[in-house]
Structure 1
């Protein structure tokens, strides 16, 4: 059955991190996650009545409007202090997205060093911010954070950047997010391959032989090596013996 107004959809590049976060916020409320067009800019379109469409481009505003339009399915914490903290962390995720873009765009190892360590510092702040979180309920913060951590994990595996080293709280949150089918479906292997294939071959990432070894030594004392793509598999049950 077709939904009544308002109708919501996200336009823009299929694999844009902002678009992925907004589409996940819609998917958790029962909306389809498919892309609507391939516009250059990511937008949330809200059709309130025929031919009356509100366009939102700010990433945080997209999440807030989706939240406001679904009062029966809130994904912000109900506690005002916790909700305010989540909103601050969502803004910090925006900074991490921009820094991740600088990592992949760097054309020389100097710029890459600066970008990697700026992103690591922001991810560490996020990790400290969510370290006290309890419970497994998925939140808006998780939905915008997951695409960023997922990209960091892919870059770690492909280029040895060590972006996820030591981020124990982030490991827990992305594992919990992967417990949701829409997250697993959107951030899957095919999307990961598209992300890697879309990197500029002139990027400094592809010239890391010496720098990667130096980063390995720099992060050797951190326990949490790499962010997971999926939650740990449950232990196998012993089969009955006949």
Structure 2
């Protein structure tokens, strides 16, 4: 069908245009909710401060959830919201540090080998890989040599679980998403009954406990500098 124009009586200066084709689907507009890291709220405000009414904005802080939630216009259903949270980095979680999750020594060796870039000394990393790969074979051989043929294998394993695996080593990685990398000391814990292992770092735990509040406080200070009239509510 060709385009048609229809002039309405009394509305000579108005024109209605009919077009052939499918009209856009009807939809209700929704508010924008952005999910990001802990500095997302202050980054948003830094770029939008000139177009926002600070007195209509609210920042909600939840220290238990390690989150900062920005509501840009509390009375507007179509407002923007920004939720930033302090999360462990993917690399930190990948190593399972302090997670309590155990994996085989071969799996740990592969994990370290594929992520040796985080080690301060890569030669040390590869030495650790070799020790982990040979660990179970060494233990099984020693158990076999000491076996009393009376089924006491588990007890014997507990006695011979010693190796050249270093007591601790250093890795450099970000603990939290969006934060800089830092060097932490990590230990390998071995379970005697199945020889699976996990990584433990008391130092990383101390850093998490001591820095999360300081990181949140730092973000709130930046928000206050950008928008001094904004309301900040602690949950």
TM-score tier by shorter-chain length is under 0.3
Name the structure, 1 or 2, with higher relative contact order (CA <8 Å, separation 6+): 2
Structure number with bigger Rg: 2
Structure number with the higher strand fraction is 2
TM-score, L = length of structure 1:
0.25
